[in-house]
Amino acid sequence: VQLQASGGGLVQAGGSLRLSCTASGSTFSINDMAWHRQAPGKQRELVARITRAGSSEYADSVKGRFTISRDRGKNTVYLQMNSLKPEDTAVYYCSADIVTSSLFTYSNNFWGQGTQVTVSS
């Protein structure tokens, strides 16, 4: 299983970016998908999570500005980031809980490689 994240970049404060993350390989079933971030010198934190049914939750710091969504047919999760602030600067990682075979009833947690988001003031 591989998770490939893309969409990061450099943007001015107040701007927008859309991150994408696609799972490929042995993805029999994908449960929760999520975005995390890690800023320099800080611990990794959960940004947003979306369940298989489409329910979502957000970190307080991004509520009202970020929107997580997913396309189950494409095994892809998105993070639309609006009204970006310099404090949103971080490496963003996607993760997914994936059942890799119809023979299994449990999921494993997989992570993407990270994409850099830099917000200038």
40-61: b (≥16 Cβ within 10 Å) or e: eeeeeeebbbbeeeeeeebeee
Residue at token pair 């890799």:
100
- 98 SS3 class: strand
pLDDT tens-digit profile, the chain (121 residues)? 999 999 999 999 999 999 999 999 999 999 999 999 999 999 999 999 999 999 999 999 999 999 999 999 999 999 999 999 999 999 999 999 999 988 888 889 999 999 999 999 9
Compute the distance between CA of residue 103 and CA of residue 114 in angstroms, rounded to an integer: 30
